[in-house]
């Protein structure tokens, strides 16, 4: 028997519900990559339903990230290296994250870096 999946809408935010029910908010978190201008409002709407949301949105400038008071240009090798050094990741993790950021498409490096920093800070 096929399980019923349904797409529910709240403004431009969408929820995938299973058998007509959303899972309990305390057991699930939503990682929300908001890349459009209204994304922050969508994340707020989701929080209004009691969902735990980790919102990752655009930086002010593409591929640039403000981390611990310093801005890093993640499109450049030296910017990525400086950022990863500032994060104090173990060498094997630095290599993996550096490859991810280097290979990410234009305008996506800052979002991926925010995801890495949120994990390091225990937000996931």
pLDDT in tens, 25-80: 445 678 888 888 888 898 888 888 888 888 888 888 999 999 999 999 999 999 99
Domain-located, residue 2: no
Assess whether 72 and 51 both reside in one domain. Answer: no
Assess whether 116 and 74 both reside in one domain. Answer: yes
The residue range of the domain holding 113 is 64-120
Assess whether 77 and 104 both reside in one domain. Answer: yes
Q: What gap in Å lies between CA 44 and CA 101, rounded to an integer?
A: 28
Domain-located, residue 76: yes
- Are residues 15 and 22 in contact, defined by beta-carbon separation less than 8 angstroms? yes
Question: In this structure, what DSSP letter does residue 62 have?
Answer: T
Domain-located, residue 45: yes
Q: What gap in Å lies between CA 67 and CA 33, rounded to an integer?
A: 18
Domain-located, residue 8: no
Question: What are the DSSP E strand ranges found in 26-63?
Answer: 29-34, 52-57
Assess whether 37 and 79 both reside in one domain. Answer: no
Q: What gap in Å lies between CA 96 and CA 68, rounded to an integer?
A: 21
The last residue of one of the domains, among 40, 57, 74, is 57
87-121: pLDDT as tens digits: 988 888 889 999 999 998 888 899 999 988 876 55
Domain-located, residue 44: yes
Task: With H, G, I as helix, E, B as strand and everything else as coil, classify residue 96.
Answer: helix
Residues forming beta bridges with residue 16, ordered by sequence position: 7
Task: Decide: pTM greater than 0.85.
Answer: no
Residues forming beta bridges with residue 30, ordered by sequence position: 53
Describe the chain by its helix, strand, coil percentages, rounded to 5.
Answer: 40, 25, 35
């Amino acid at each position: 028997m096929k399980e019923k999946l349904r797409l529910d809408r709240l403004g431009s935010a969408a929820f995938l519900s299973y058998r007509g029910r959303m899972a309990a908010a305390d057991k699930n978190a939503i990682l929300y990559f908001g890349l459009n201008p209204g994304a922050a409002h969508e994340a707020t709407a989701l929080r209004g339903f009691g969902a735990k949301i980790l919102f990752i949105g655009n930086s002010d400038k593409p591929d640039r990230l403000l981390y611990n008071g310093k801005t890093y240009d993640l499109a450049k090798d030296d910017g990525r290296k400086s950022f990863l050094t500032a994060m104090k990741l173990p060498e094997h993790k630095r290599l993996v994250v550096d490859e991810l950021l280097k290979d990410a498409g234009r305008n996506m490096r800052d979002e991926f870096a925010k995801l890495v920093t949120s994990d390091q800070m225990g937000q996931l």
